[in-house]
Amino acid sequence: MKIQPFHLAIPVSDLQKCRKFYKETLGCGEGRSSEHWVDFNFFGHQLVIHYKEPEKTAPASSNPVDGKDVPIPHFGVVLKWDVFQEFAKLLKSKDIDFVIEPYIRFEGQVGEQATMFFKDPCGNALEFKAFKNMDQLFAK
């Protein structure tokens, strides 16, 4: 089966801050937009940020994985190993405030992967990862 691009829509309380973040910090190409939403090419996938009035924030949640507190919910993409390494360097040069710094998870085990977590300006958690062996993406 050929992998198809996904579509994801997320709420943001500051459309302009997030527009700048996804476009300038992450390097996502901007597509269609209106005064209430913006489409981005999110590493070959369609990400739409939709303005939503700020609400009371729910307490942050996380699950322990490999001794780290992984933010829940989160979204992101799987990159090629070398692309991940370069992207991590770029983000560090832009002073991203990482929730979980780039590191190797499950080192030497099935599913060995590089991963990192950070948030956009409105608190949406993102994870970027890369597998040492892409054939192990869904391995147990």
* Domain spans, the chain: 7-51, 66-136
Architecture per CATH, 7-51 = Roll (3.10)
The pLDDT score that the predictor gives to residue 57 is 63
Task: Encode pLDDT of 34-81 as tens digits.
Answer: 999 999 999 999 999 999 998 766 667 999 998 999 999 999 999 999
Fold of 66-136: 2,3-Dihydroxybiphenyl 1,2-Dioxygenase; domain 1 (3.10.180)
CA-based angle 80:121:39, to the nearest 5? 65
- Measure the CA–CA gap between 135 and 59, rounded to whole angstroms: 36
- Measure the CA–CA gap between 88 and 102, rounded to whole angstroms: 7
Task: Quote the pTM value.
Answer: 0.91
Domain 7-51 shares a fold with domain 66-136: yes
